[in-house]
A = this chain, B = another copy of it.
Amino acid sequence: MGAYIVSGAVVKVDRHFERGYRDLAYDVVKECPDCLDVDYVVISSALPELTAHQVDLSTHIAQWLGRRVPVVRVESGETSGLAAVDLAASLVSSGRNRRVLVLGLEKVTDYPTYVTNYFYSLILDYEFEVLRSVSPPAYAALVMKELMRGGVKRECFSSWAVKMHENATSIPHAMLRFKISYDSFKDSQVLAEPLTLHDSFALGDGAAALVVSSSPNTNASSVEIVFSATEVGLPAYLRENISDLTASVKLLKLSLERYGLDLKKVITELHDSYTPYPIAILRSLGYLDGGCDLNEFEYLNTSGGLKARGHPIGATGVYQAYEVFKLLTDRLGSKTASTDYGLVHSMSGPDNVSRVLILKR
């Protein structure tokens, strides 16, 4: 049996001071009436124990929404959202469920930034990385430096940031809907040299909902999940080259080859927590070797990516899948697309784990 995305909704990624986990869940399903006509709910969330003192979040969300339907929470750091979509596809493909709601939820703006930064850093190995003062931006900076030694110019990373902000201007649910200049990194706060805030994702609260069904909609407004795969990478410090994001590259290569796709033509959402990561991936896939012209790619991170749409950690994968779904079936903000396939890529930390999803209209 197949698996189809048939419906969905998102709330704006933002600092929703007045909204907690349950409020965000309520807000997003309110926008999506048939999101509650399901027989299973998979909630993806990475940080509720740390940011909201809540274990068993999924049960408490179901109780808050007044639902008795089976519910569970899935977590895998920054890839939690795509992990949930993957499980939902199996839940309906198994014939055991008809319609599954995937609900990505994250609340991250309740604490001073350094506290949230610390919670986020725990996606790395606590005992062997975090205790040794290694944080996600430190790895991103090391990847950036290695790429720069390999000939990538500083401006290339900036052009990613500029492009993402530009894309986000037409996306209503994006967190940062303004343009930035190529040299804004010069005045930007340094996180870990040479990586600046300009190279980093926007951290915001978020909620995204998708309905995965065992059958397509009768009209054209659904997409099929034709491929969903996961690969665990080596710890970054064990790699021959720290900028080789081998798990992501392997999955993306496999995806493009198997479906005869060209990244320049296909709708793609890449995980761009820090600008060096998508640049490293594109180069490993054989793109950008002559320079850094992102305009070669027709539908690359139309949403603005983690950089500008924003990154509500455990919900991000659901946003990405929603965005590709909308582009394939209708429109995303003011953007439309004329292609049959869409690709979603998610990873946690510096490629500790990667997941890829292919959607077909």
Instruction: Identify the A interface with B (CB < 8 A).
Output: 1, 20, 46-47, 49-50, 52-56, 58-60, 62-63, 67-79, 83, 86-87, 89-91, 93-97, 119, 122-123, 125-127, 130, 228-235, 247, 348-349, 352-353
> Does A230 contact B71, Cβ atoms closer than 8 Å?
yes
Q: In the complex, what distance in Å separates the CA atom of A63 from the CA atom of B97?
A: 32
Contact, CB under 8 Å: A90 / B83:
no
Provide 6 A-B residue pairs closer than 8 Å at the C-beta atoms, listed in order of the A residue.
A46-B55, A53-B122, A56-B348, A59-B232, A62-B232, A69-B232
Query: Which residues of B sit under 8 angstroms from A53, Cβ to Cβ?
Result: 122, 126, 130
Residue of B nearest to A131 (CB): B53
Contact B94 A63 (CB under 8 A): no
Complex CA–CA separation, A71 to B355 (angstroms): 10
Assembly stoichiometry (copies):
2
User: Chain B contacts of A97 at CB under 8 A?
Assistant: 90
- In the bound complex, CA of A233 to CA of B62 (Å): 9
Q: Which of A46, A49, A60, A234 has the most CB of B within 10 A?
A: A60
Shortest C-beta distance, A246 to chain B (Å), equals 10
Contact indicator B76/A59 (Cβ below 8 Å): yes
- A46 nearest in chain B by CB position: B55
Q: Which of B73, B119, B125, B229 contacts A75 (CB 8 A)?
A: B73
- Chain B residues within an 8 Å CB radius of A96: 89-90, 93, 228
The residue that A55 contacts in the complex, of B68, B86, B123, B235, with Cβ under 8 A, is B123
Which of A20, A52, A73 has the most chain B CB within a 10 Å cutoff?
Answer: A73
Task: Tell me the bound Cα distance from A87 to B93 in angstroms.
Answer: 12
Task: Say whether A353 contacts B56, CB under 8 Å.
Answer: yes
Contacts of A123 in B (CB 8 A): 55-56
> Known: A87-B87, A93-B94, A122-B49. Contact between A353 and B59, CB under 8 A?
yes
Min Cβ gap A317→B in Å is 12
User: Shortest beta-carbon distance, A199 to chain B, in Å?
Assistant: 22
Supposing A90-B94, A94-B93 touch, asked if A72 and B63 sit within 8 A by C-beta, the answer is: no
List chain B residues, Cβ under 8 A from A59. Answer: 76-77, 232, 348, 352-353
Contact A83 B75, CB 8 Å, known A54-B126, A94-B93, A130-B53 = no
Of all chain B residues, which has the CB nearest A64? B125
Which residues from chain B contact A77 at a C-beta distance below 8 Å? 55-56, 59
Q: State the CA gap A69–B96 with chains docked (Å).
A: 24
Residue of B nearest to A129 (CB): B60
Cβ of A73: which chain B residues have Cβ within 8 Å of it?
74-76
Q: Report the minimal beta-carbon distance from A312 to chain B, rounded to whole angstroms.
A: 14
Residues on the B chain within 8 Å of A89, using CB: 94, 96
CA distance A154 to B26 in the complex (A): 43
